[in-house]
Structure 1
């Protein structure tokens, strides 16, 4: 019985230990791949779940790099202490962060996060990282994570070839090289012509790639572009594009600078262009003709006139013809020769030099009778249509090659100018002229008799102009006058003119006579002489000269004012006398006679002195007038 009991106890313990062993274990979770750029920070997480209650949990981190090829520990921790191994190339750049992020409800399991941090990641940090957890009786577990490091290439460099690229080359020739340095993983290079990618073509395009891996593990990639160039490549731009990977499975790219290549090609066409003058050419112009060829380098160019054997002198494809005439008209050829390929091209241009000959007048000069009709013509040979305009004295009088004048008068006489021009070619014009003479008896211009008045001793000029043909002769006849003299007698375009001068002494009548073989015309001049006037003597005034020079109206006003002042003074004296304020040497009342006597005394006193008014009145009226009479008149008015 005791044995059974003991046996049961051992069996139960064995079963418990077996169950414990099954229940306690360690789980591990890690990322398969961590990608970072060189120089940045890498974080490699490791999560472990420990079930049960182990006394000790040991955590270790290892790395296996391509350089070492073996597992190398970089971190150790047993719960009581932790160590960063210093013998690795990570020294000073790594750290480990640990945290318990959760616990089972029963308290028999815990979750721990372990984070490995690598700063300033380098390419040689790339490799396999191992996280190992040993929980003793609970067991152990390890996981792995691959760290990928990406390095972007440096600036993409493109260099064009300096060799000649000729379209006549039968095989493709190298035109450029592209290089991308220090990149990881290995980049790829693509060539472009004007944004169009180029592909290998044995006959036209050859692309050769070369790659080099440095001791640092970085890649340098080079690519050569060989091309069978065509003429259109002279205007094309070429560049290369480098494609490389970055974290996250993405792809980036960098482009080089654009380059142009020099393409040699023979001329395929030649054109001649008239540079100057623009439009039609006339005699006397300087003509410049330029030969334009599409060959490169610029081919040798020569000019030649059709029908002539010798070459014309030109400069850099420019032919200049100075002071051209109609004889320079013709066809001009330009020959373009490429010495590298001996390909020749030719162009031509027709030059037409327009002309306008001298004007031909008919008749050159002509004489017509008054009242007759006349016709004149003017024309000139030209290579272009012309138009004709007639002028006389600067005024347009007709259009067309023929000028018709009806009923000729002396006003019709004179010079007529015809102007012939080419409307389509400004500046090309000529002129001609004819002089028309109208024959007839003289006609004096302004024939009406002239009546005038002039002062004696005045010098006078008389002018007489007459039209007529033959040229009239002008003579003068006069009655009266002195110092008579003809100062001018000349012919005018339509007749004659005479000018005489004299001094007026008395009334004068002068006659201008114009005479030729056909007749006579006369004009009269009547001049009335105005005698000189003498002024009468004037009594000298004792007052300043400026008073005497005043106008008569001013003098009369002054006289009236003075008389009014005298009247007022008399009234005042009379008033004082009546009031007894004026002592007169008498007493008592005075009779009327005495009053009158006093007035007479006052008047007499005023007469004793000649006033300015009396003198002025005398000067104005030509006779003396006593001022006392005036005073008495004004005294009567006061009464």
Structure 2
């Protein structure tokens, strides 16, 4: 009985084995090892399977593996019946495309979250071919924000005994965790005990994203003053891609002591002359704020600064100037010096002096020079034009045209602007000579005022007087001294023909000129006056004739008063009466005379 039971069980076991072996051989599931998706995007996981059961003979279930390693079903599909499991993190975010009748289904997960980074299982069960499953890992990615770099603002001394902070790099909100690498001049930096320290720190934000910060500290050297520091951030992207982004570079201020200093004249460029504002500077080959500079030279001193300004410098400021640099940390002092020479050009000296009096026709010489630290050139000018080069001015056969102001200019051409000048006034002694005016004969309208000019050469300056032919003295309206004489002006009113004299005198002689002014229309007036006089004479004669004939004075008949012989006492006057037509003659004594008595 026992043997029979055993054989029965063996047969059943063999049948079950062969049946199961057939299912393993036929039912297959193919899935990708991993699916990459960005945060908040949609993920699609494919499950490809093969079975002979066909429609209605296959059950498909989707599971995910929890953090603790357990399987949790999230979806069930059988013979057109499908539903997501309730109460899972995926209940309202998943769907499955496909009915199971085909050889593939797709699990779609909407709005993928970081916690969705799990392993998903597609489980296929065939009624005849057995079961099979496939697994896919879902990986989630998030591109981090643009990285930032901040360098230290204060300077770093190479004399610091410990490492000094250089700067901080930071990148935020990335997934998976980004990495930061420091570079100095394109060379990656790694921690070296006692020299370089790269200190990273990682923060997991409340969102599950990573923020990474890296701080660089190092012991600086002088060459780091010119170095450029920056950070490189690498992060992962879907498709096994590694992305990279760099920060902008930063510089640091490195303090290092001076080992040598130089000194120079900043301005003016070239040679220095008296009156310049001179700027002297010095500088060292180090970069140390704890170094004090001072410049000394003569009575000039510049304390705690590397610049000395000497205003309106003179030759007394020539000499040695020294620059001192004192390191306030080590109290070591170094110095250097330069020699400053101030060029000069003294005032012009003219001999025989500023005034020279030369008799007309004579010869004289004048010399001009100026003491200078440089070679000089001399030239004489008159009225802005050069008359001679050299120190000596020779005046030969002097004339009035020789008179004037001569300017001597002494120049040190090696230094721009180094120039001095002086003047000499030359007077030519001679008796007055009146330069004849262009017009001495003129015709002007009556009542017009005429200005007359008299230009007199001569020295001592002549005295000029104006007068008329009638002996009237005219006052000068203006008088101006020139280089070689006097210009005098007088005004005269034209009332008729007039003659005006300009007289010039000095201790050496005299001269004069005559101006004839004719009044316009004066001949016509005289002719009119003569005609009028003749007419009056003719009129008088006519009246007298008429009187003699009795045509005037009330006489009605011809009567000659000369017929009656009357003495001085018998002058008779005839009187008429309009009423009686009787004429009565009265004598001188008042006696009444009858007409018959005439």
Over the aligned positions, Cα root-mean-square deviation in angstroms equals: 4.2
Q: Decide which of 372, 389, 398 is 1:399's aligned counterpart.
A: 389
Q: Secondary structure at the match of 1:304?
A: strand
Displacement of 1:115: 0.6
Q: Secondary structure at the match of 1:327?
A: helix
Q: Decide which of 404, 426, 430 is 1:414's aligned counterpart.
A: 404
Corresponding residue of 2:45: 44
Cα pair 2:295 2:307 within 8 Å, conserved: no
Displacement of 1:241: 2.1
Corresponding residue of 1:243: 234
TM-score (norm 2): 0.71
Q: Secondary structure at the match of 1:40?
A: coil
Deviates more, 1:56-65 or 1:234-243: 234-243
In structure 2, the CA distance between the partners of 1:129 and 1:455, relative to structure 1 (3 Å rule), is: closer
Corresponding residue of 1:64: 65
Distance (Å, rounded) in 1 between the aligned partners of 2:253 and 2:352? 72
Residue deviations 1:517-559, cap 9 Å, x none?
5xx5655537486656243789xxxxxxxxxxxxxxxxxxxxx
Corresponding residue of 2:95: 95
In structure 2, the CA distance between the partners of 1:295 and 1:19, relative to structure 1 (3 Å rule), is: closer
Cα pair 2:118 2:138 within 8 Å, conserved: yes
Distance (Å, rounded) in 2 between the aligned partners of 1:302 and 1:291? 9
Residue deviations 1:189-222, cap 9 Å, x none?
2002344432444464332345566798755544
Q: Decide which of 122, 125, 133 is 2:124's aligned counterpart.
A: 133
Cα pair 1:26 1:48 within 8 Å, conserved: yes
Corresponding residue of 1:340: 329
Displacement of 1:348: 3.8
In structure 2, the CA distance between the partners of 1:419 and 1:227, relative to structure 1 (3 Å rule), is: same
Note if 1:363 corresponds to 2:352. Answer: yes
Q: Decide which of 470, 481, 484 is 1:482's aligned counterpart.
A: 470
Distance (Å, rounded) in 2 between the aligned partners of 1:449 and 1:149? 117
Cα pair 2:348 2:370 within 8 Å, conserved: yes
Aligned pairs for 1:186-585 within 5 A: 186-202=177-193, 204-211=195-202, 219-256=210-247, 258-272=249-263, 274-277=265-268, 279-293=270-284, 294-297=286-289, 299-305=291-297, 312-314=301-303, 316-364=305-353, 365-440=355-430, 442-446=432-436, 466-468=456-458, 481-485=469-473, 487=475, 494=484, 512=503, 514=505, 516=507, 520=509, 522-523=511-512, 525=514, 527=516, 533-534=525-526, 535=528
In structure 2, the CA distance between the partners of 1:166 and 1:403, relative to structure 1 (3 Å rule), is: same
The size of the alignment, in residue pairs, is 506
Note if 1:168 corresponds to 2:159. Answer: yes
In structure 2, the CA distance between the partners of 1:411 and 1:206, relative to structure 1 (3 Å rule), is: same
Corresponding residue of 1:85: 85
Distance (Å, rounded) in 2 between the aligned partners of 1:215 and 1:81? 39
Residue deviations 1:31-86, cap 9 Å, x none?
12212222222111011122255863211111113x13112111122215223112
Cα pair 1:26 1:141 within 8 Å, conserved: yes
Whose helix proportion is higher, 1 or 2? 1
Residue deviations 1:579-613, cap 9 Å, x none?
xxxxxxxxxxxxxxxxxxxxxxxxxxxxxxxxxxx
In structure 2, the CA distance between the partners of 1:270 and 1:511, relative to structure 1 (3 Å rule), is: closer
In structure 2, the CA distance between the partners of 1:391 and 1:85, relative to structure 1 (3 Å rule), is: same
TM-score (norm 1): 0.67
Corresponding residue of 1:596: none
Distance (Å, rounded) in 2 between the aligned partners of 1:251 and 1:334? 58
Q: What residue ranges of structure 1 are gaps of 5+ in the alignment?
A: 1-14, 101-109, 539-639
Corresponding residue of 1:122: 113
